[in-house]
């Protein structure tokens, strides 16, 4: 597969010999993040079957140009699909295309197919519509319910008002007001005709009242050849990326449906190639390169200043959980581009098992996210940056990415600093693997949830399952008591023991401090990671006293996954100041001066 850039879009061309290709049309927001691995493997499967495929990010999403706040987003997405079709025909050598869309991407595929049919009806060979959004109003209702549930259950202690301008926040993503208005009026089953001769519909919620079945009836009446089937694997695919599964049966159904599509047998398939030279473009005021590192095992996007020389410091952002390098809410895109404007070189990295690296795992799990191989991969990325001439390298991550960052700093002397956002684990043991399926929050979070009137109202309406919540609360409390008792007993018997998690965490902080690695912890006020830190270092973090290079900061609006816009902005402001300090330390090291490290975020409180 090779990277492609076109009209503000960033994508990947999966090359093959067929004369008919497939353009994959992403869903939006969290659904695009959760289904990224599934779409990546669908594109690989298509190419292996002889069907060229192109997957890409719409303008304002993923690695594409734009902030995501632009107006007329739906129209720009349709324009992006049309540009992708042109790119696939030009660079992939195909004559006709099939548009394959998931959720809102399926609706956009229909709109794009209508535009193509008006220009050249012969271009569109078919439509593959996977759990399509048929009724925009119902889709928005689902999104609002999802976001409300997250607010009530995950961050009950953080007051959050909806956008005042009519926009809609859904987890880490914002639908602008004009996009919401456009979706309110979307009714695919009311549009006239069918813009393709063949259509495959996979319905995630089949039934007599299914709007997808209604679409199938409409398209058949228009003379199209329609195949309608279920999509039982949808729920397994559409969940957080570390849990999300590739829908193997559905992808086989897509390949089987494409079987009758003509292929150019006379054309030879492209030979296997080594990783390609870096593809570079200037985007949003910075310069970005697609790069392969660690002997081609890992992929990354290197972001640097476009109008000034880099200042010699770099930062690596490893993956969070099972997410690819973009990050929830485009976190790492936003961070890397903003830091590049301040002279910093930033690498948003896909570890070898994830994202757009050459051989990502087909399935993921929480234990796999914390596997030592992930730390080895990120450590190799640090060495790669140093080999490019960067004199100081920082590693920064969120949750599991913070865990990877910490362990890279411990093993690699080339690391100059680490910024750990909501680190939840200092070490991963067998007990963690056994409890990996549990999704818990902090004790303060549980208490805040109990105080919310909305949650009691939902309980009375039967919308809340009490037993799983009680089980999670009890397990969380029991585990914390057990950990504290074990640590206290070990210290009483033998003094600090590095075989315990507490002993390991304290020894790790002393080692980083001894080496002068500036180590900053950032926590939300009620984050479970802050509880973990207090378990390891004492209720007032007294075990960290006297360590000059270790800092802990708590931030008021800082949710665990950084879904809130305020959380992402706070991390960005912190990192800008932190990297300025790193640059100053690098300059001072050359001149023999000493630089005092000031608090990085005004108004932040020490934990």
Strands 2-6 and 20-25 turn out to be: unpaired
Greater model confidence, 493 or 356: 356
Residues of the chain with pLDDT > 90, as a percent, come to: 78
Q: Rounded to an integer, what distance in angstroms lies between the CA atom of residue 425 and that of residue 152?
A: 25
- In terms of average pLDDT, the best of 44-53, 469-478, 492-501, 579-588 is 44-53
Q: Please list, in sequence order, all residues whose beta carbon lies within 8 angstroms of the beta carbon of residue 322, skipping any fewer than 6 positions away.
A: 37, 240, 241, 242, 243, 244, 354, 364, 369
Strands 124-130 and 53-57 turn out to be: unpaired
Residue of 181, 149, 152, 147 lying closest to 162 (CA atoms): 147
Distances from the Cα of 201 to the Cα of 344, 451, 471, 524, angstroms: 47, 45, 40, 43
- In terms of average pLDDT, the best of 126-140, 151-165, 574-588 is 126-140
- Residues 193-222 have pLDDT tens digits of 999 999 999 999 998 889 999 999 999 999
Residue 603: exposed, middle, or buried by beta-carbon count in 10 A (0-12, 13-18, 19+)? exposed
With helix as H, strand as E and coil as C, how does 528-571 read?
HHHHHHHHHHCCCCHHHCCCCCEEEEEECCCCCCCCCHHHHHHH
Residue of 49, 69, 50 lying closest to 59 (CA atoms): 69
Question: Helices 248-258 and 36-48 meet at what angle, rounded to 10?
Answer: 40
- In three-state secondary structure terms, 135 is strand
Q: Rounded to an integer, what distance in angstroms lies between the CA atom of residue 489 and that of residue 512?
A: 26
DSSP 8-state code for residue 224: -
- Residues 422-473 have pLDDT tens digits of 999 999 998 888 877 665 555 554 455 454 555 545 556 565 565 555 555 5
Average model confidence (pLDDT) across the chain = 89
User: What Rg, from alpha-carbon coordinates, does the chain have?
Assistant: 25
Residue of 278, 432, 431, 317 lying closest to 370 (CA atoms): 432
Q: Please list, in sequence order, all residues whose beta carbon lies within 8 angstroms of the beta carbon of residue 230, skipping any fewer than 6 positions away.
A: 202, 203, 204, 206
Range list of β-strands (E), 182-224: 198-203
Mean pLDDT of 523-538: 96
| pLDDT for the residue 494 | 46
Q: Rounded to an integer, what distance in angstroms lies between the CA atom of residue 137 and that of residue 18?
A: 38
Q: State the fold for domain 282-431+440-606.
A: Rossmann fold (3.40.50)
Dihedral, CA atoms, 400, 402, 408, 414, nearest 10 degrees? 150
CB 579 within 8 A of CB 313: yes
Q: Tell me the β-bridge partners of 460.
A: none
| pLDDT for the residue 433 | 85
Full-model pTM? 0.88
Q: Please list, in sequence order, all residues whose beta carbon lies within 8 angstroms of the beta carbon of residue 470, skipping any fewer than 6 positions away.
A: none
Residue 280's CB is within 10 A of a number of other CB atoms, namely 14
Greatest CA separation found in the chain? 81
Residue of 67, 69, 80 lying closest to 108 (CA atoms): 80
- Residues 340-354 have pLDDT tens digits of 999 999 999 999 999
Mean pLDDT of 186-196: 93
- Residues 277-336 have pLDDT tens digits of 568 999 999 999 999 999 999 999 999 999 888 899 999 999 999 999 999 999 999 999
Q: Rounded to an integer, what distance in angstroms lies between the CA atom of residue 401 and that of residue 349?
A: 11
Residues of the chain with pLDDT > 70, as a percent, come to: 84
| pLDDT for the residue 308 | 86
| pLDDT for the residue 101 | 98
CB 336 within 8 A of CB 301: yes
Q: Rounded to an integer, what distance in angstroms lies between the CA atom of residue 604 and that of residue 554?
A: 6
CB 350 within 8 A of CB 299: yes
What CATH superfamily classification does 2-135+186-258 receive?
Alpha/Beta hydrolase fold, catalytic domain (3.40.50.1820)
Q: How confident is the model at residue 244 (pLDDT cuts 50, 70, 90)?
A: very high
Q: Please list, in sequence order, all residues whose beta carbon lies within 8 angstroms of the beta carbon of residue 236, skipping any fewer than 6 positions away.
A: 244, 245, 247
| pLDDT for the residue 599 | 42
Q: Rounded to an integer, what distance in angstroms lies between the CA atom of residue 119 and that of residue 67?
A: 30
Residue of 170, 160, 112, 169 lying closest to 556 (CA atoms): 160
Residue 249: exposed, middle, or buried by beta-carbon count in 10 A (0-12, 13-18, 19+)? exposed
| pLDDT for the residue 205 | 95
CB 128 within 8 A of CB 101: yes
Mean pLDDT of 478-485: 56
- Residues 364-414 have pLDDT tens digits of 999 999 999 999 999 999 999 999 999 999 999 999 999 999 999 999 999
First to last CA, the chain: 47
| pLDDT for the residue 601 | 37
| pLDDT for the residue 229 | 97
The segment(s) of the chain belonging to CATH 3.40.50.1820 are 2-135+186-258, 282-431+440-606
Dihedral, CA atoms, 216, 217, 219, 221, nearest 10 degrees? 160
Q: Rounded to an integer, what distance in angstroms lies between the CA atom of residue 267 and that of residue 271?
A: 12
């Amino acid at each position: 597969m090779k990277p492609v850039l076109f009209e503000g879009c960033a994508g990947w061309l999966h090359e093959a010999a067929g004369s008919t290709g497939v353009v994959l049309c992403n869903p939006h927001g969290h659904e695009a993040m959760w289904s990224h691995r599934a779409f990546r493997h669908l594109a690989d499967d298509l190419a292996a079957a002889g069907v060229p495929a192109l997957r890409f990010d719409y303008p304002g999403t993923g690695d594409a140009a734009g902030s995501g706040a632009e107006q007329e987003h739906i129209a720009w997405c349709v324009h992006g699909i049309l540009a992708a079709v042109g790119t696939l025909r030009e660079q992939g050598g195909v004559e006709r295309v099939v548009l394959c869309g998931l959720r809102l991407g399926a609706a956009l595929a229909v709109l794009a197919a209508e535009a193509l049919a008006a220009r050249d009806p012969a271009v569109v060979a078919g439509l593959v519509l996977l759990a399509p959004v048929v009724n925009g109003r119902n889709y928005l209702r689902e999104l609002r319910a999802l976001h409300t549930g997250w607010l009530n259950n995950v961050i009950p202690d953080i007051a959050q008002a909806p956008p005042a301008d009519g926009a809609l926040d859904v987890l880490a993503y914002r639908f602008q007001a004009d996009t919401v208005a456009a979706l309110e009026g979307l009714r695919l089953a009311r549009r006239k005709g069918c813009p393709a001769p063949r259509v495959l519909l996979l319905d995630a919620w089949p039934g007599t009242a299914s709007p997808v079945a209604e679409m199938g009836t409409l398209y058949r009446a228009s003379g199209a050849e329609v195949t309608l089937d279920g999509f039982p694997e949808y729920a397994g695919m559409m969940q957080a990326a570390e849990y999300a599964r590739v829908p193997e049966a559905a992808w086989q159904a897509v390949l089987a449906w494409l079987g009758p599509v003509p292929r150019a047998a006379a054309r030879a398939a492209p030979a296997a190639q080594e990783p390609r030279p870096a593809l570079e473009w200037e985007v949003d005021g910075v310069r970005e390169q697609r790069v392969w590192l660690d002997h081609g095992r890992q992929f990354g996007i290197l972001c640097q200043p476009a109008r000034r020389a880099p200042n010699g410091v770099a930062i690596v952002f490893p993956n969070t959980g099972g997410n690819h390098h973009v990050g929830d809410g485009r976190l790492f895109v936003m961070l890397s581009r903003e830091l590049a404007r301040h002279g910093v070189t930033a690498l948003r990295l896909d570890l070898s098992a994830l994202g757009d690296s050459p051989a990502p795992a087909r399935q993921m799990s929480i234990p796999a996210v914390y596997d030592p191989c992930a730390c080895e991969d990120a450590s190799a990325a640090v060495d790669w940056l140093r080999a490019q001439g960067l004199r100081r390298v920082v590693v920064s991550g969120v949750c599991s990415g913070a865990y990877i960052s910490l362990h890279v700093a411990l093993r690699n002397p080339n690391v100059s600093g680490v910024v750990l956002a909501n680190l939840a684990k200092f070490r991963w043991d067998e007990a963690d693997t056994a409890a990996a399926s549990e999704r818990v929050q902090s004790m303060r979070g549980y208490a805040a949830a109990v105080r919310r009137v909305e949650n009691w109202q939902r309980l009375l309406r039967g919308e809340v399952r009490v037993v799983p919540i009680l089980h999670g609360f009890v397990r969380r409390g029991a585990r914390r008591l057990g950990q504290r008792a074990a640590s206290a007993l070990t210290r009483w018997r033998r003094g600090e023991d590095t075989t315990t998690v507490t002993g390991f965490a304290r020894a790790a902080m002393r080692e980083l401090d001894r080496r002068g690695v500036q180590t900053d912890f950032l926590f939300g006020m009620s984050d479970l990671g802050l509880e973990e830190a207090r378990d390891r270092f004492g209720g007032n973090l007294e075990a960290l006293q006297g360590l000059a290079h270790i800092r802990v900061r708590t931030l008021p609006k800082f949710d665990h996954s950084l879904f809130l816009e305020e959380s992402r902005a706070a991390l960005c402001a912190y990192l800008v100041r932190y990297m300025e300090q790193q640059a100053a330390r690098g300059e001072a090291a050359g001149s023999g001066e000493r630089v005092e490290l000031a608090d990085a975020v005004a108004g932040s409180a020490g934990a």
